[in-house]
Chain A
Amino acid sequence: MKKLSSLLDAKGYPLEKQKFTWKDLTGKPISKLDDDAFTRVRVILMNGIENDALRLKHIGARMNRELRLPLAEVRRVEHFQATMVNWLLSADHSPIETTIAYEQVAIEVTAAVAQTEPDPYQAQTYRYGLLEDFDHLYRYSALLDRVEGKDANNILQGYTDIVPGRRTALEFRAPEDDLRENYDKENAALITKIHAAMITAAEYQTHDYYMNIGPTFADPIARQLYAEIASVEEQHVTQYGSLQDPDESFLEKWLIHEAMEVYNYHGCAEQEPNPRVKAIWERFLDYELGHLNLVCELFKKYERRDPEEVLGGELPAMVEFKSQRDFVRKVLAEEVDLRSKGTEYVPLKQESKASIAYREQLNSEGVAADIVSAGYTWAPGTELARKRA
């Protein structure tokens, strides 16, 4: 265990020296074929986190006059960080292949978080959402196989199973059943706050990605499937976003977000095998430490509080970027029939009537997630290879 505040001893790289060039920002991408799948997982996760950093800061600037300039200055750098990270994805990823990678992020990172989250209710929430993203992977794998004739495992590289989870057609819930109890800012561990911020960020980017690429598909089933799963991702943003304490001040949220960015770049840098990508994670860890120190000063100035109050909690080891197969299978076996009713998790039989009514109406003209995956069993080299074997 170590304290994140110990990281503050390193002041990082000062904001005014954080510079880029256009060429620097759009350098060589990773290899879809030769890089480890977890390199791509980290790229997608960190892009999601940087985009959420921009989102939070834009919203903050709308209601904090005195912070508008520092927010704009940090945001500019984070925009470029997002650019450099996202441009690591190579052009030979088809949009469905990138989608498979997004779901791998959602599964493996959420599973890692669920195991280190100390708050049992929050951990339950991660396990609950995890089984839904796990199901999305299965439906999208069927889509990739049945529309493009490609094997999702070319992207997953054996790390993540392709089987049904909580059936997507059953995931559509009334808004009241997507809200969760929030952590208490006074008593929650720092890592609980970090987890909520990072998983919300990841899900938000997944939602936005599906909303952007969904209409670019010609195939009607693909178009509808993206619409369906994007709506579940919106539910997930609602779910994970509501884990955060709404009584935190904006500066407190900003501080947590910067700490979360430091925490994640640190984990990425520690575990990255690709030296070129590792250098980016190390560089941006330094940048984020610079941002964190800056926000600490603003926190002291405007809130007259010690950042240690927020950042002083102990942290478990960094997120482990590795296959969480055994954990996911256990959760699948034990919790696939759980349902959420209000902020509670209940057995199938006690499912919320509001959600059932909501779902029946939406599903009344057919569900692409069911149609695309009817009878689908993944096989190495696609289901066509199995059928001919």
Chain B
Amino acid sequence: MQNKVKTGLNMTGAQMSPDDSERMLDAALSIKPDVKGTTKGIAEQRRLRVVESDQVGSVPIPGTAKGMMKTAINKLMGKQPEVLIDKLGERLAFERSGTRLYEALIAKAEALDGTPEAMLRDLRHFQKEEADHMQLVVEAIERLGADPTAQTPCADVTGVASMGIMQVITDPRTTLSQSLNAILMAELTDNAGWELLIELARQAGQTEIAEAFGKALKQEQHHLVTVRAWLEKDLTSQLS
């Protein structure tokens, strides 16, 4: 596959079929909506359903903390231990998926002509670091007596949010820059996620965890800067 966007017979725009589009527009303007109103009705329904709704699920009770006095848990993790456990679960899920995203991106980069060897080397290194970060979070969750195999609500929701990124990178038809753009979305979120998690760990009095996470954040910052530079370079080279 060519690794550059190309011009061609894209059929989606109104300008590709000006006569038909004109007729569609005539119809739309002459046959009025049969239900009066605006998008306010949708907003109202959304509000109503939010009020009525249950949550996606719950944070599991730490397996090893079952039967522990609430005060003991508080001592371990602050007043609302579920907040930290939930966000740790999210980070774990994100890093685990991130490892797989890099795996797919590496396959694509290897398949395309002209991918610099240095980029491939860095991609493999980043993938390894994502896996290391996943393990780091597993250990932190275990230290808190929680279950790293459980899917917490934030882990679940971040999985939903990441579905599009996975779809872009694993699609054989997407170019390297389209895939880099997708991984950039992941890295931007990941950086913000680590920063927030470190702050939460500090506030929960988990300084050791916060310090260990600091190293991961530095590596993620490097991923972000590098991916952004690759993307810029790839697109710039297509311009020339």
Which residue numbers of A lie inside 8 Å of B, CB to CB?
32-37, 90-92, 146, 153-155, 157-159, 161-164, 167, 169, 218-221, 323, 325, 329, 332, 366, 368, 370-381
Contact = CB atoms under 8 A, between A and B. Distances in A.
17 contacts: A34-B8, A154-B13, A158-B23, A159-B17, A162-B24, A167-B35, A220-B45, A221-B45, A323-B20, A329-B27, A372-B41, A374-B39, A375-B33, A375-B37, A375-B38, A379-B28, A380-B24
A89 to B, nearest CB: 13
B17 A158 contact: yes
Contacts of B160: 218
Interface of B: 8-14, 16-17, 19-21, 23-25, 27-29, 31-42, 45-46, 49, 160, 167, 171, 173
Given A91-B171, A153-B14, A158-B17, 13 more contacts: A34-B9, A34-B11, A158-B20, A161-B28, A323-B20, A325-B20, A332-B31, A373-B35, A375-B37, A375-B39, A376-B33, A377-B29, A380-B21
B11 A37 contact: yes
B173 A374 contact: no
A291 to B, nearest CB: 33
Contacts, number: 109
Most chain A CB atoms below 10 A, which of B16, B28, B46, B173: B28
B42 A153 contact: no
Contacts of A329: 27
A163 B21 contact: no
Nearest to A218: B160
Given A35-B11, A379-B25, A146 B33 contact: no
Contacts of A374: 33, 35-41
Nearest to B38: A375
A70 to B, nearest CB: 38
Nearest to B167: A91
A92 B35 contact: no
B41 A154 contact: no
A41 B35 CA distance: 29
Contacts of A157: 11-12, 16-17, 20
Contacts of B24: 153, 158, 161-162, 378, 380
Nearest to A90: B173
Contacts of A154: 12-13
A158 B14 contact: yes
A273 to B, nearest CB: 10
Contact of B34 (A155, A167, A372): A167
Given A33-B12, A329-B27, A377-B29, A371 B45 contact: yes
- 7 closest A-B pairs by beta carbon, nearest first, are A374-B37, A158-B20, A158-B17, A380-B14, A154-B12, A163-B31, A220-B49
A146 B21 contact: no
Nearest to A381: B14
A349 to B, nearest CB: 18
Given A91-B171, A163-B27, A158 B33 contact: no
B25 A380 contact: yes
A374 B38 CA distance: 5
Nearest to B23: A325
A176 B162 CA distance: 47
- Among A90, A163, A219, A372, residue most surrounded by chain B Cβ atoms (within 10 Å): A163
